[in-house]
Chains A and B, each alone.
Chain A
Amino acid sequence: MSKEILECSVNGEQQSCLIDRRDTLLELLRTRLQLTGTKEGCGNGNCGSCTVIVDSQTVCSCLMFAVEAQDCEITTIEGVASVGELHRVQEALIKHGGTQCGFCTPGVVMSAVGLFAENPSPNESDIRLAIAGNICRCTGYEKIVKALMDVADPKGAD
């Protein structure tokens, strides 16, 4: 099948990529751009492990074709922390033990980053709703929710 050129911005870097029209955005990120922090847990939008931010919207990158990302601004887990400094969502997940096997964690971080960009002081229901598309099999969500509550209200949590 013929390949085509895709132009987009990924984590602030302009990219021109040769893609197969059958590639999903997830395949573009993981295989062609080697950004393997974004995980594939199900491939059909049910688990949220592949969550990225496209033009300020959190999306499952497995549900979007790469060709649909033409001229889009994409942020992946690799673009969340700066050198030497983690995002406060990441700091809080570490502090509260909100990551175990770590496979769902990048998706959880992206959903949370998306939530806080929209709503800086969410309550527990907002937080549970925001990560309801991210299946975590290890933690029971308890320490993820505690961590994100701490981000929402650093004085409220312990």
Chain B
Amino acid sequence: MFEEIIAHADPHGDHDTIGRRLPRIDSGKRVTGEAIYPADFQLPGMVYAKLKRSPHPHAKIRSIDTSKAMELAGVLAVTTADDFPELEPGTAVPMGQGSCDVWMVGQINMARHKVFWVGQPVAAVAAIDLHIAEQALELIKIEYEVLDAVFSIDEATAPAAPALYDSMRTTGLDTPSNKPTNVCSRTVFKRGNSDSALANSDETVELSIKVDTAHQGYIEPQSVVAQHDRDGLTTLWVSTQGHFTTELVTARVLGIPQSKIRVVPLEIGGGFGGKVFIHGESVAAKLAEKCGRPVQLIFSREEVLQGGSGPTAALQGKLEIGASKDGVINAIKSRIHVDAGGLPDMNPGIILQVFAALYQTPNLFLEGFDVVTNKPRTEAYRAPGGIQAAFLMEQAIDELSQKLEMDPLEFRRRNASVTGSTMPAGTPFPSIGVLEIADAVAAHPCWTTPLKEGSMPRGRGLAFGYWRGTSMTSACHVTISGDGRPMFTLGSVDISGAHTSMAQVAAEQFQMSLDDVYVATGDSKSVGYTDIAAASRVTRTMAAAVIDASQAALAELKKRAANLMQLTAEELTYDHGSFRTANDNGPSMTVADVMKATLTQGAIICQGSSSNLPFGVEVGAHVCDVEVDKDTGQITVLKYTAFQDVGFALNPPAVEGQIEGSVVQGLGWAISEGFDYGSDGRLRNASLLDYRIPTALDVPSIDTVLLQKPVPGVPYGLRGVGEVPIVPVAACVANAVARAVGNRVTQMPMTPERVFKAMTAS
């Protein structure tokens, strides 16, 4: 199905625009502040909304009295769950190969009957200014029946733990139980017999870790503008990773047909997985409908962190791994628990695959549970679960190589998955370049140059990372303007330079310059359904769609040119904006002339789409040097190098930028980013001062080494890029710390206190 697209997407040979180091085509508006995010978007008569949030981590909502708030001068509308249809648990809309749980997203927007975490919205107001809206929140009276709450996996799984959901029963158990539980599901991958293989291994390692909740940390808080016009159409101007999902979900939460809602994506100020779901879009729409004015809702940073959106899953788990003395892995056995937060269904399957991807073993037993706790519902964050799982797996691999007295790179190489090896789910691996990356590391000065001694203990760490990514569906269309230039409308938002890379692909296809093509994202009513910008999928799959549309448009142009030139299409070839015959001195015609002659005889509109493109699995290897302050436990990262096989770099600086940013996000979680909940279920560090995202002073220069081994069957051989570079980071730092101080740090983030404790443990 993709053969024709692939034929027009050869990564080899000379290219005019793809593969070149080009600045983003939309940088100008970013560096001048002209880029418009929903918080910047204004409509005449617009008013301002604020959400009233739960102060309790677990409580029944007895009653809500909004009458006093409505009486305050300047308040135009108040809303609660009563204004929304009650959805059945399990209500879902399609998303990628799976679905999006609308009941769950509805609860993130507005609690009904019960609250499950501090910060869950329970009511909202719209007022003529923000000060009045804030005053009005104080006037909403809510009666709660406070319930016992659980804040950790251990508390939630204790025998006498209060159950968040009376109806919850663990799915996937060998022996089903009929008792209420906070364990939502059990997921298992197995082959062979890991217990007997572990018992028969020459060396084994057993490691347990705990990872704190962290936040995606996008700098733009959630924001939306909603309008409900007199003809009954609701329009949302949003910051989202997927405006079609926003439309599907919001329509269901509001109980309106999709023909009555339009979603316009504006700029997105960072998402990293945290802007897939809606977080108040439906509430703003309801308020706009109730007050008849456009409504803007912007979260404060405290709201973002204190239960408004995100965070990502805490995890704890144990891994046992065994190998023969010549360094061949016999068995991997792991059991993990994922903290999903206050709403169920955070399937750990995607996380478990990290334990069984990069290295092959005949005996495998992986078991994952997702657990509900009275904390915010967790959401995806860049390779969701990958960094947590690698913190366990890659430390265990490192420790086993130490026990075997084997070079950690060589140990990995002996067990590496190669193309055709078994994937976690049992299917064969598509093209995977673990060995090639190992070769690149082995030859690089970051690995071969001895680590210089310092006044404090130093160590060098190595860790690998794997992420599968996915493909889902992407659509675009192209029209040809009156001067012959192609105008593309994409179904994807631009979260990581997609407009630029797609303009490069379009320019390459049309053999024109970047300035000759127009690329923009269409709103949800002006382009075909496209899945979310997530899972490292947009560049690969949208490139396929753009090529598909381009080839169709060029064929139509050729037909028109042939007609005008009184030749057959077969006699013409396309060359840099002109159609000509094989004879160099023969007639030719530019696309501008073709369109000048035929524009008013009917539009050229050609569509492109791609669904279920082969995976572009991502593999990376990271090397870092650290110094550990032996008096305080503070880790300083001295040097960091990230290797990644990207298949083909459409725009190398954009690819490097993804890796550099990803590494620094990983360093944040590795060293300083962790949610600190009090015994009342309130987040105690709900600010960017106390929740410590790295600054420019906290991180070293990040070196990137791009390997380009094109993936067969994918346009230009592109791999996913943006997710895997966060996966190995914490393990890489942990392995360096272990080699510096002799002990392993098993809690993440590896704060000075935790490192100090590990260092001084006997």
Instruction: Tell me if chain B binds chain A.
Output: yes
Q: In the assembled complex, which residues on chain B have CB atoms less than 8 Å from the CB atom of A132?
A: 695-697
Q: Does B301 interact with chain A (Cβ within 8 Å)?
A: yes
Q: Does A74 interact with chain B (Cβ within 8 Å)?
A: no
Q: Does B415 interact with chain A (Cβ within 8 Å)?
A: no
Q: Does A157 interact with chain B (Cβ within 8 Å)?
A: no
Asked if B696 and A81 make an inter-chain contact with CB atoms under 8 angstroms apart, the answer reads no
Q: In the assembled complex, which residues on chain B have CB atoms less than 8 Å from the CB atom of A102?
A: 29-31, 35, 267, 269
Q: Does B488 interact with chain A (Cβ within 8 Å)?
A: no
The residue on A at minimum CB distance from B495 is A101
Stretch at the interface among B20-28, B307-315, B398-406, B562-570: B20-28
Q: In the assembled complex, which residues on chain A have CB atoms less than 8 Å from the CB atom of B688?
A: 41-42, 44, 46-47, 135
The residue on A at minimum CB distance from B704 is A142
Query: In whole angstroms, how far apart are the Cα atoms of A44 and B304 in the complex?
Result: 14
Partner of A104 from the list B29, B219, B660, B697 (CB cut-off 8 Å) is: B219
Q: In the assembled complex, which residues on chain B have CB atoms less than 8 Å from the CB atom of A49?
A: 219
Query: In whole angstroms, how far apart are the Cα atoms of A61 and B2 in the complex?
Result: 52
Asked if A86 and B32 make an inter-chain contact with CB atoms under 8 angstroms apart, the answer reads yes
Known contacts A77-B33, A109-B31: does B268 contact A95 (CB below 8 Å)?
no
Stretch at the interface among B465-473, B549-557, B625-633, B661-669: B661-669
Q: In the assembled complex, which residues on chain B have CB atoms less than 8 Å from the CB atom of A95?
A: 23
Q: Does A120 interact with chain B (Cβ within 8 Å)?
A: no
Asked if B32 and A78 make an inter-chain contact with CB atoms under 8 angstroms apart, the answer reads yes
The residue on A at minimum CB distance from B695 is A132
Give a binary string over B297-308; 1 marks a CB under 8 Å from any A CB, 0 the rest. Answer: 010111000000
The residue on B at minimum CB distance from A125 is B697
Which parts of B203-228 form the interface with A (CB within 8 Å)?
Answer: 217-221
Known contacts A20-B131, A101-B267: does B31 contact A128 (CB below 8 Å)?
no
Count A interface residues, CB 8 Å: 57
Q: Does A28 interact with chain B (Cβ within 8 Å)?
A: no
Asked if B33 and A36 make an inter-chain contact with CB atoms under 8 angstroms apart, the answer reads yes
Asked if A94 and B23 make an inter-chain contact with CB atoms under 8 angstroms apart, the answer reads yes
Q: Does B707 interact with chain A (Cβ within 8 Å)?
A: no
The residue on B at minimum CB distance from A145 is B696
Q: Does A97 interact with chain B (Cβ within 8 Å)?
A: yes
Asked if A94 and B660 make an inter-chain contact with CB atoms under 8 angstroms apart, the answer reads no
Known contacts A34-B42, A141-B664: does B220 contact A99 (CB below 8 Å)?
no
Give a binary string over A68-109; 1 marks a CB under 8 Å from any B CB, 0 the rest. Answer: 000000001110110000100110011111011111111001
Partner of A93 from the list B31, B656, B696 (CB cut-off 8 Å) is: B31
Give a binary string over A34-60; 1 marks a CB under 8 Å from any B CB, 0 the rest. Answer: 101111111110110100000000000
Query: In whole angstroms, how far apart are the Cα atoms of A41 and B714 in the complex?
Result: 38
Q: Does A131 interact with chain B (Cβ within 8 Å)?
A: yes
Q: In the assembled complex, which residues on chain A have CB atoms less than 8 Å from the CB atom of B221?
A: 40-41
Give a binary string over B37-74; 1 marks a CB under 8 Å from any A CB, 0 the rest. Answer: 10110100000000000000000000000000000000
Known contacts A44-B301, A129-B697, A140-B699: does B33 contact A37 (CB below 8 Å)?
yes
Query: In whole angstroms, how far apart are the Cα atoms of A80 and B42 in the complex?
Result: 23
Asked if A140 and B689 make an inter-chain contact with CB atoms under 8 angstroms apart, the answer reads no
Asked if A94 and B27 make an inter-chain contact with CB atoms under 8 angstroms apart, the answer reads yes
Q: Total number of A-B contacts with CB less than 8 angstroms?
A: 174
Q: In the assembled complex, which residues on chain A have CB atoms less than 8 Å from the CB atom of B31?
A: 86, 89-90, 93-94, 99, 102, 105-106, 109
CB proximity of B664 to chain A, nearest CB, Å: 3
Asked if A43 and B131 make an inter-chain contact with CB atoms under 8 angstroms apart, the answer reads no
Q: In the assembled complex, which residues on chain B have CB atoms less than 8 Å from the CB atom of A139?
A: 657, 660-661, 664
CB proximity of A24 to chain B, nearest CB, Å: 11
Which parts of A116-142 form the interface with B (CB within 8 Å)?
Answer: 127-129, 131-142
The residue on A at minimum CB distance from B30 is A102
Q: Does A8 interact with chain B (Cβ within 8 Å)?
A: no
Known contacts A39-B220, A42-B301, A100-B496: does B689 contact A138 (CB below 8 Å)?
no
Q: Does B654 interact with chain A (Cβ within 8 Å)?
A: yes
Q: Does B573 interact with chain A (Cβ within 8 Å)?
A: no
Q: In the assembled complex, which residues on chain A have CB atoms less than 8 Å from the CB atom of B272?
A: 137
Report which residue of A99, A100, A127 has the largest number of chain B beta carbons within 10 angstroms of its beta carbon: A100
Q: Does A152 interact with chain B (Cβ within 8 Å)?
A: no
Q: Closest 3 A-B residue pairs measured CB to CB?
A: A37-B33, A103-B269, A102-B30
A sample of 26 inter-chain contacts (CB < 8 A) reads A1-B131, A20-B129, A30-B40, A40-B39, A41-B220, A41-B221, A42-B687, A46-B687, A78-B33, A90-B32, A94-B31, A97-B24, A97-B654, A101-B219, A101-B495, A102-B31, A103-B219, A103-B220, A105-B33, A106-B32, A132-B695, A135-B693, A139-B657, A140-B657, A141-B699, A145-B696
- Chain A interface (Cβ within 8 Å of chain B)? 1, 20, 22, 30, 34, 36-44, 46-47, 49, 76-78, 80-81, 86, 89-90, 93-97, 99-106, 109, 127-129, 131-145
- List 20 additional A-B contacts (Cβ < 8 Å) besides A22-B131, A46-B687: A30-B40, A41-B220, A43-B302, A44-B687, A46-B689, A86-B28, A94-B28, A97-B24, A101-B270, A102-B35, A102-B269, A103-B37, A131-B695, A134-B696, A136-B696, A137-B270, A137-B272, A141-B695, A142-B701, A143-B656
